[in-house]
Structure 1
Amino acid sequence: MKRIAGAGDTTFLAIGDDVIDLNRIRRIGVVAAGKAASPMLKALLPSLRGLSQCDLSGVVIASDRPTDLPPGFQFFAGGHPTPNQASIDGAEAAVALVRSLRKEAIATGDSLCLFLISGGASAMMELPLDSRITLEDMVKFHRELVHSGGSIAEINCVRKHFSAMKGGRLALEAEGILSYSLLVSDVPLGHLDALGSGPTLPDSSTVDQCKEILERYGLMNRFPVSVRQFFSSTQLHETPKSAQLRSKAVTLLSSEDLVEIVEQRARDLGFYVVVDNTCDDWSYSVAAEYLLERLRDLRRDHGRVCLISSGEVTVELSARESELDGSERDDTLGVGGRNQHFALYAATLLRSLDARTVVLSAGTDGVDGNSAAAGAVVDETLLDDEKLLFQAQGSLQRFDSGTFLQEAGLSIVTGATGNNLRDLRILLAAEF
């Protein structure tokens, strides 16, 4: 997206293949939600400044308040990985902004709405369809979904049918307005409507799929009573589909861009490079076993190998374990996330035949589960005695991989990156 100067005082805004005459726009509204909301807004604002004829306002829902937030913008520190009161307040403010733009657009036809959506928006911007569901129950609902072991597409299918914002429902509020969604994607290719649970895109999932997911993961018994009642009620309506929405979306960044950069860097360093995203959404254990075996096979023929895998693995917690969060956590559940869990489990699989092998797994958002780390890096020497191996296996059972890896000095700590392009796994093997 970029601003283009035309003849005279004419100014245009190019979004994808479209060019918008900004001189005809009298009001622009921006809704930015997700982990990349602040940097996305920072990148957007230079294209919108200096339009004297235009009223600019917006709602930003993110972890951290953007610097130099313009007048007319509201900020809400939405929660993640579970919603908080600011998630609700921000969602209500976003709906109010879009409705006011729609009202004005119907009268004058000169409004523009820009949605900046990135990963994390599912929790940061939330409003249940059933207004009787409390924040406490909504937090438990989100927590059980995150800990279910389901893929991001499955988890977000359920979220879409629960929420007044998701599954295209926010876009439905914007019908009649010239609107665009600008996306920084942390979801699998071909599943953009799962990004942030798809607030501004037509939903490809269905109520029947939602019910099947709830049954397959045994979630109904784990939800609070109010949420169970909602999913069993007539309020469970179908989400807006493509025939109902005229939504336009442009993907700015995705995991493909990330992998391309890593692949080129590895080639520059002299590695034989293979990209294998086959294990996206697999269980962490199956994914680790698959990728290590793939690395061993490649190493036989090429010696110096870099195996790159993007996407996310799943870690399923039991109902009891998933109840333990924050101050409620006890010795049965520790610190870490799927990346550290994957890395430590991979370390338990490394043997003498894997000499000079390194495994890295990290979240591009700089956050892994409930830890301060983005992930970890391990090699075949980490668990080279039985005592350490036994300790590592115990940490995996307690979901305390983060503590073990931190004490070993192998955590990757970046802080929040302001981006979210899924997880990245890099497996390196040097020549013997």
Structure 2
Amino acid sequence: MNKFDFKIHSYANDDRLAKIYHILNSALNAVDPYRAILENVRRDNERLFINNNRFNLNKFNSIYIIGAGKAGAPMARAIEDILGQTITKGVVVIKQHSPQQSNSTTNKIKLRTASHPIPNQAGVQGTSEILQLLDKATENDLVLCLISGGGSALLTAPVPSISLDDLQIMTKQLLTCGATIHEINTLRKHLSLVKGGGIAKHAAPAQIISLILSDVVGDPLDVIASGPTSPDSTTYSDCINILRKYDLYNAIPKSIQTYINAGNQGDYPETPKPKDPIFNRIINLIVGNNLIAAKAAQKQAQAEGFNALIFSTEIQGEAREVGKVLAAVAKQITKSNDPVPRPACIIFGGETTVTVRGQGLGGRNLELALSTVSEVAGLEDIAIITLATDGDDGPTHTAGAIVTGETYTRAKKRGLDPIKYLINNDSYHFFEPLGNLLIPGLTETNVNDLAFIFAF
């Protein structure tokens, strides 16, 4: 059964579309946050099993549940279904307009909503409630931290000398300059009381277990949601280098520039590093990631009769350049049935970036798709699909787009020039009139992006 309807108009009333739907749904279902928690956490009376770790619940005076991220609601519901009344209190910050926002099924865990990707006052308030819980934690308590993609924006507690307004300005600058998530989160960690090991610092000496749904290529613990319970390897010097790399050093708010320079000179403490004793009682566990979704898609594609291949789940780089690679692979299949013969499904995973130079609307998945339109024009029985697994590609309400060999011709008949739209970063308005957008709604999971080449 398909949980998500992507509203794809290409291949309408065609059994090929049904196969595509099955494959995309299988990928998302495999990283369903509720399911991920249940697969990694179980309870047997007063014994709690988390992966290979066993805990006696009777030894804890209090059990606190905290967290932040787009998958926070289903993760919280799963933990509450497992632990029930043994939970003392909980606060999890989720993205506003999440499907479960207005009809939460949690009782002991409060779900607070905030904005993403630009932090807002609601995120500050929700994070403040989390810190109030952690202030009560002792060495005889258990803190379960539910972390998923989007947590960097939703978990917000700026250092005292930085205003929320200035943090919002810097975030917008970083998101549009082409910086990687590693680079963006390096800045975020050094301007926060909770990122870069900050939550660990507040919760120590309690037993802390973080259950993490990864949205970062390679699953680096210190980058996912800016590593609230992980040691940080980056420095204030790295922050300065990143700002200079993207010509932002003199463009960011003065308060941030002053703070980072002071930190680099030793006036402010560095983020906690690997040997800090605050990490002695912390377990960080990845419960879902991009590879799990890609493998599920591959398995379903094989069941649908495709020769399926996972090309890589480490795809990074400028979206429009990665699009050229996907188009080249599509051409190769058409030309020589390589790297796998038709019917083929080739799966890519990762996260690209976009350097915004135009005034249009779109996200990295839409831009990646747009960059393939001219390249695959005229190819028969070829489809390229891009998919943000959270259902939300940048500032749009879409998850991605579908491109076929006929897309270029259809666009030209409507007066849509893919090159001009690409130059203006206006991928949304290119695909919208063609009916080629993927619109599943918010999925409440987040494990990076997926892209597919189908050769029928």
| Residue of structure 2 equivalent to 1:137 | 166
- Whether 2:71 is the aligned partner of 1:42: answer no
Deviation, structure 1 residue 303: 3.2
Residue 327 of structure 1 corresponds to none
Aligned to 1:27: 62
Q: 1:269 aligns with which of 281, 304, 319?
A: 304
2: CA distance, partners of 1:350 / 1:298: 12
Residue correspondence of structure 1 range 18-417 to structure 2 within 5 A:
18-51=53-86, 56-63=88-95, 64=98, 65=101, 67-71=104-108, 73-102=109-138, 105=139, 109=140, 111-129=141-159, 131-234=160-263, 235=267, 237-244=269-276, 245-246=279-280, 247-277=282-312, 280-299=315-334, 300-301=336-337, 302-318=341-357, 333-352=359-378, 354-384=379-409, 391-417=417-443
Unaligned runs of 5+ in 1: 319-331
State the SS of the aligned residue for 2:79: helix
- Check conservation: 2:72, 2:94, Cα contact below 8 A: yes
With structure 1 as the length reference, what TM-score do the two structures score?
Answer: 0.88
Give the match's secondary structure for 2:209: strand
CA contact (8 A) 1:183 1:249 kept: yes
1:394 Cα offset (Å): 2.1
What is the distance in 1 between the residues matched to 2:210 and 2:239?
25
Shift in Å, 1:388: 5.5
Which deviates the most, 74-83 or 175-184? Answer: 74-83
In the alignment, structure 2 segments of 5+ residues that lack a partner are 1-39
Shift of 1:88: 0.9
Question: Aligned AA for 2:386?
Answer: S
**Aligned partners of 2:135, 2:350: CA distance in 1, in Å?**
35
Cα-to-partner distance string for 1:2-33 (whole Å, 9 max, x where unaligned) = 34335xxxx11101211111122221111120
Q: CA deviation at 1:192?
A: 2.4
Residues 389 and 278 of structure 1: is their aligned pair in 2 closer, same or farther, counting only changes over 3 Å?
farther
Shift of residue 315, structure 1, vs aligned partner: 0.5
Distance, in Å, in 1 between the alignment partners of 2:76 and 2:441 is 20
CA deviation after TM superposition for structure 1 residue 395, in Å: 1.9
Q: Describe the shift of the 1:140–1:178 C-alpha distance in structure 2 as closer, same or farther (beyond 3 A).
A: same
Contact persistence 1:383–1:389 (CA under 8 A): no
Q: Is the CA contact (8 Å cut-off) linking 1:31 and 1:115 kept in structure 2?
A: yes
Structure number with the bigger relative contact order (C-alpha 8 A, sep ≥ 6) is: 2
Is residue 313–residue 350 contact of structure 2 (8 Å, CA) maintained in 1? no
Give distance in 2, aligned partners of 1:316 and 1:295.
25
Q: Is the 1:193–1:201 contact (alpha carbons within 8 Å) kept by the matching residues of 2?
A: yes
Give the CA deviation at 1:278: 6.8
Counterpart Cα distance in 2 of 1:378 and 1:127: 41
Deviates more, 1:83-92 or 1:199-208: 199-208
Q: Deviations over 1:295-336 (max 9, x none)?
A: 333441323222111111110124xxxxxxxxxxxxx52322
Cα RMSD (Å): 1.9
Q: Give the aligned length.
A: 401
Pick closer, same or farther for the CA change 1:279–1:344 going to 2, 3 Å: farther
* Counterpart amino acid of residue 175 in structure 2: V
Contact 1:152/1:281, CA 8 A, preserved across alignment: no
Distance 1:309 1:351 in 2: 21
Aligned equivalents of 1:411, 1:89: Cα separation in 2:
35
CA shift for structure 1 position 387: 6.1
Q: Are 1:207 and 1:236, in contact at CA under 8 Å, matched by a contact in 2?
A: no
User: Hey, what's the Cα distance between the residues in 1 that align with 2:144 and 2:229?
Assistant: 10
Counterparts of 2:226 and 2:41, CA distance in 1:
27
- Provide the rounded CA distance (Å) in 2 between the counterparts of 1:43 and 1:365: 19
Hey, what's the Cα distance between the residues in 2 that align with 1:382 and 1:124? 37
Post-superposition Cα deviations, 1:128-165, rounded to whole Å, max 9, x if no partner, equal 22x23222211111111111212212211221122111
CA distance in structure 2 between the partners assigned to 1:429 and 1:88 by the alignment: 47
| Equivalent residue number for residue 428 of structure 1 | 454
Question: Using the alignment, how far apart are the partners of 1:259 and 1:362 within structure 2?
Answer: 12
How big is each residue's C-alpha offset from its partner over 1:54-74, in whole Å with a ceiling of 9 and x where there is no partner? x61011101243613324x44
Give identity over the alignment, percent.
30
What is the alpha-carbon distance in structure 1 between the residues aligned to residue 175 and residue 406 of structure 2? 32
